[in-house]
Structure 1
């Protein structure tokens, strides 16, 4: 089975990839996909990603939780943003969340237009995701959400972790996959220390949410893989 694994370092480059026969893994480590993975693992019935803050309002008065984040902060008037600590079992169990974020939901909406399938990846579900991808018969594109269409370190490190885990199972890796894996191998002994170099880490530090960053860098806390079905992210069924 000849399969390729590619890394798209920013959504601005997505148009360069043929993804109709690919599983696209959307990656926004700090913090959208980490929170989505954690929320689905904690029993959220669904998480509906929308592109714009105003789109959340269409779901008002339907019993849904409305979550909106821009530039790392909760948008005023919404239930919460994209901190993983807002996606605990007590808060989201059995509920549907409507979510919009600066980078992650944008990348997801771009991927869904042409991808064979769209799933969410985070360090929190790294091994579960890799175990599942290993036995699929599709190419894989690791789509880094980046920061406002620019490259970022944290998403690339996660892409590299996936490549390192799966490289023996795929016949072709592009140069961005090789670079992402090399970065991950340099950083994996202390991801947080390495990410002190990142611009987004500095942005989040100004918001006093270091606890969120530390949480998002944990390995294999979750077993769930959120998958896009229709307009909603739900738990992938075995």
Structure 2
């Protein structure tokens, strides 16, 4: 059987072998949830950037630009990091350049993988089904928060490990622990994650609707993948 493992932070990714594996990048609050929402609602492609200035310059090339730091829209950017914004506004057919505090950094550090997928609760089952159709081991790469472990990405990893258990085994202690955490707390994700540090940061910004969206299962039958040119696109 194929294997699945979990990396809890981009700061730990150097400890994992990426070549020949599918890497699923996860930033539940909110980057990967926003990326999935954007693609599902008509954005043609997303080009991720680790830094603000390179992303900002893409506006001159006709890109819609989205920038977030510390949970807030970065100065001078049209969009922040809210999935709800892409449900309310029509950006159909647009190319989006995007940079966030954690998620785009994790994508940047995953580039040695054979495939990079974008994972979120709203497209969990679609992503699992795609992975099960591929003959490769899987690494779930949690974006965390500024290098630290976080609850929301890690419990998503547990949900994915559990969803893959028919086809993938794990000998990874972190994956085993997160699967058990999801089995115990997954019935009330919003209640469990209300104690998460980043959920509290976002609540302080008054964006509870974003949190609700980010914790909604299987809204879209959609797989988002990084293509050879570095763009996030629908598979």
TM-score, normalization: structure 2?
Answer: 0.97
User: Displacement of 1:224 after TM fit?
Assistant: 1.4
Partner residue, 1:203 = 201
User: Displacement of 1:61 after TM fit?
Assistant: 2.1
Once the two structures are overlaid, the 10-residue window that deviates more, 180-189 or 31-40, is 180-189
Partner residue, 1:3 = 2
Gap runs ≥5 in structure 1: none
- Whole-angstrom distance in 2 between the partners of 1:140 and 1:75: 33
User: Displacement of 1:101 after TM fit?
Assistant: 0.1
Partner residue, 1:67 = 66
Partner residue, 2:190 = 192
- Whole-angstrom distance in 2 between the partners of 1:213 and 1:35: 11
- Whole-angstrom distance in 1 between the partners of 2:129 and 2:55: 34
Q: Is the 8 A contact 1:42 1:89 kept in 2?
A: no
User: Displacement of 1:90 after TM fit?
Assistant: 4.0
Partner residue, 2:164 = 166
Gap runs ≥5 in structure 2: none
Secondary structure class of the residue paired with 2:129: helix
Q: RMSD value over aligned CA atoms? A: 1.1
Q: Which runs of 4+ in 1 moved over 4 A?
A: none
Secondary structure class of the residue paired with 1:88: helix
Partner residue, 1:143 = 141
The counterpart of 2:174, out of the listed 176, 179, 185, is 176
**CA deviation digits over 1:183-226, x for unaligned, max 9?**
11121111000001111111111111111101110000011111
Find out whether 1:224 has 2:216 as its counterpart.
no
Number of residues paired by the alignment? 234
Secondary structure class of the residue paired with 2:6: strand
